[in-house]
Structures are given as C-alpha cells and as structure tokens.
Amino acid sequence: VLDQALAQSMATLLARAAIAGYDNDVDGRSADNCSYSLKIIIPKKVGDLLSNDMNVTVFHAPASSDATGTTAQQSLSMQAMRYLMSDNCVALKHFKQPGGVLLFTWSMVETRGYQKLKEDFDSPFDTTLTSHFGHTTQELLNLALTGCAVSNPFNGTINLGEGMVCRGVSRRNKVGYLSQLEKLRYCQVGGYLKCPIFPVWVVGSESHFSVLFGIDGSSQASSRTQDLFETCKNAWQEHDSNQGFIPMHDLNHVLKKLKLDLQQGELEALTAALEVPNSGIILWDDFWKKISRLMSGAALESVLGENTSDGVNAFVKSDEELARELQAQWNSGNDDAALMSAMTSSQPASSPAGNKAVAIEGESCSILGDTFPLYYYNGLRGGNMQGFLLTNLTPEEAVGASISLENMQSSSGTDKSRGLEDVVRTRWPTCQLDWLGLAVPFID
C-alpha cells in the first residue's frame, strides 16, 4: 500500500510538471495541437548515481482528451504509475534508495524541460533550483507543488515594467504551502497556496519541510472574521513600512481601498481619533479596533463615541464595567440576580453551528462553533505526529478587540516552539490554538 501511494504521488507530480503552464495564461501558450512527455530517469544499477549510463523512460500523451475522456495529465500519470509498480516495483526501488530524491528531482527537471524552466523563472540567467548548502529554492519547491518553477509563492504575475516580471502561482493548488519566512517577512504566500483544494500544507521552516493536514474540509471553510481581517490587513499593508503604523495622511487611501467613503469632516474626526497624539502616525491596533467596527456596520458616531448600542456586534464587557454593574445591583439587594447577569453578559454569543464531537489523539473533544482538528507531522523529530484544535475568533470576539498584525511581535530566540504557532497564524491569523495539554511541536 505504501509503495502504491508513493508511486501514485510521484506520477502525479511528474505529470503536472509535464503540462503545467501550457493550459493556462501564465505564458500565453495554448494547449491545442500539442503533445506532452513525461520522463523518468533511473540508473541501470540500483544506487549507482555516479554512472553516466542512465535509463531514460519517456511517456507521451496528446493534449486533447481521448475518446474515454482521459486528460493528458491523467494519461501520463497512469502510464508512469504502471511503470513504477511493474515487475515487483523494480523502478520504484531506485527512488527509495539513498539519492532517490535527487533522481526524482532530475526526472522533474527533464520532464519540465530546460527551456520551459527558464520561462518559469523570474530571471533565466542567474536562477538555480538549489541555493547555498544544497537547500531547495522557491523555484524547485513550486515545481514540485504546482508543476511550474515560478520564483514566488504569491498569486499571479506582477509586471514591474521595463521587462521585469515577478511570476507567482497562477491558480488554486491541490496541496498548500505555509512558510516561516512569511512570518519573518521575507516572502508573501498567496491564497492559491494558503487555501488549497485539499486540507494539506507543506510547512517550510528555516531548515527543512514538514506537513500540516486536516482530516476533512472543515479547515477550508471560510470565516467571516478571517475575511474581514485579511481585507483590512491587505489595505493597511500597502502603506505600512513593516513597522506596524502608517502616516495619518495615508488613512484616506486605506479607507478607499476598503470602500469606506467618508465626508471630509468625518474623515478629519476619524483621523484625529486614530492618531497617536502629536506623532502624525496611526497604529495598527487603533486602526483595527475602530475600522473593523465600521466594516461590520457600526455608525461612525458610535465608533468615535465608543458606544456599541447601535453597532451590529456586541463586545464582551471589561472587568471595570462588570464591577460597576455588580456593585450597582448588589447595592439594590439582589445579589443572586447580579451574579447571574454579570456571568451571562460576559460570555460571547455561541455559534449557530452548535456542538459536535471530534476524536483526536484518543480523546473525545466537545467543539463549539468554528473549531476543527489539525495534525502536524515532523519527520526529523522521530516521525512524530501530533493533533491539536484550532478555533477562529467569532466576530463578537474579534471586531473592536486587539488583534496583532500577523503576530508581528517576534518569537523569542530561545522559544523555538512558537515557530509552528506563528506559521499556522499566517493562514488563520485570528485563531486560538489548543494543544490538548501537550507541548507545542518544534518546527525545526
């Protein structure tokens, strides 16, 4: 069973490398009147990677579907899988030996073709598939994930002018990717990789790769809170210099991106309320607290006056407010009613999704609202797999509350367990994580 799964995975990746980019608008090509080829390279002797005498097996498929409706990718994948599994998996054994990853990479490169690889790269002259110390580049990772060796993990293509083009992922991928480098602000992973078709993500750390996955589609469900946060964050970051603040004169441009049209007097009042006194800047925390309420339907007068009675979302009362309310009711002599009222009013509204039970790590966990299980596997830590629960904040909890911009505060240099939490929050920025009493897994 494991051999079959390995063979199928390899065949699928190679078939994708053979056709990716020809059936979309990445380079303007058309798939009409074309044929595709897939190549598998193995040494004539198992483990003999230094030999110049290699077996190159080539499979072909027409671009158009055949009479049975089989596509070119399906045809190539089936041919390659049959070959890898034939004769008691003789061909597959080469890839299970030391150096098998190198053979598979070689097969992907030959299948993709050198000319097509150069077309995928941002720069065809100085781009490589491996970097310092033999580490994988983004181009090789994208080749394995998507079939195209583009140089960036963001969505689409950015034309910088004067012939400079930055190429990213062209469509929603089947398997996703999350990166610790995004947390460190060295790259930006786009939604095509963050929100894949299947709930499986390759997790890239500073040293190697691991896997995060869900057991069903619950982790793929859209969250209103997350959508609102991402919309505000994207508009904000166009004017943020990675410091967590923007000049106050940029506020109007950010609001226009959010389609919030204010009159001049309203804009001046909001700017005055958001500006750090006598500094000329606006902090993300102050911006989110007020703008999230405006985006949720609250009136500007309510937001500026901190009066939530006419807003769409109610907020959890502060300890000071609860204390005043309790004192007033105790003074009236109704202690029991006061206690019950305070406890009830301090609880966030429950989700209409109701409760459901999910078995994880041998336990039955009661889940309320937008909560789902995920699993993390790190092959360098003894092949350990650990499950945990992720809960997205509800609008009642998130709107108007303090939420950091992608957890901007850096993890402690000695607390490496924070690395995985930081990476998970690049995908679910408003989430809470429950490790079920276990230590947070290391990402390295």
What does the chain come to in residues?
444
Q: What is the pLDDT of residues 267-304, one digit of tens each?
A: 999 999 999 998 999 999 999 999 999 988 888 998 88
- In this structure, the dihedral spanned by the alpha carbons of residues 270, 276, 280 and 285, taken in order and rounded to 10 degrees, is -70
The rounded percent of the chain whose pLDDT value lies above 70 is 76
pLDDT greater than 70 at residue 170: yes
pLDDT greater than 60 at residue 420: yes
pLDDT given at position 173: 93
For the record, the structure tokens of 402 come out as 């303090």
Q: What is the pLDDT of residues 310-361, one digit of tens each?
A: 333 434 444 444 555 555 555 555 444 443 343 334 333 333 333 333 333 3
Question: How buried is 171 (Cβ within 10 angstroms: 0-12 exposed, 13-18 middle, 19+ buried)?
Answer: middle
Weakest mean pLDDT among 51-55, 72-76, 99-103, 339-343 = 339-343
**What is the pLDDT confidence band of residue 157, given thresholds at 50, 70 and 90?**
confident
pLDDT given at position 331: 57
Asked whether 267 and 248 are in contact (CB, 8 A), the reply is no
**What is the pLDDT confidence band of residue 246, given thresholds at 50, 70 and 90?**
very high
**What is the pLDDT confidence band of residue 135, given thresholds at 50, 70 and 90?**
confident
**Nearest-angstrom CA–CA distance, 57 and 73:** 17
pLDDT greater than 60 at residue 36: yes
pLDDT greater than 50 at residue 109: yes
Asked whether 195 and 354 are in contact (CB, 8 A), the reply is no
**What is the pLDDT confidence band of residue 165, given thresholds at 50, 70 and 90?**
confident
Of the ranges 43-52, 233-242, 394-403, which is most confident? Answer: 233-242
pLDDT greater than 90 at residue 138: yes
pLDDT given at position 330: 53
What does pLDDT average to over the chain? 79
pLDDT given at position 365: 33
For the record, the structure tokens of 387 come out as 């499950």
State the CB neighbour count (10 A cutoff) for residue 357: 10
Q: What is the mean pLDDT of residues 85-104?
A: 89
Asked whether 58 and 110 are in contact (CB, 8 A), the reply is no
**Nearest-angstrom CA–CA distance, 381 and 442:** 8
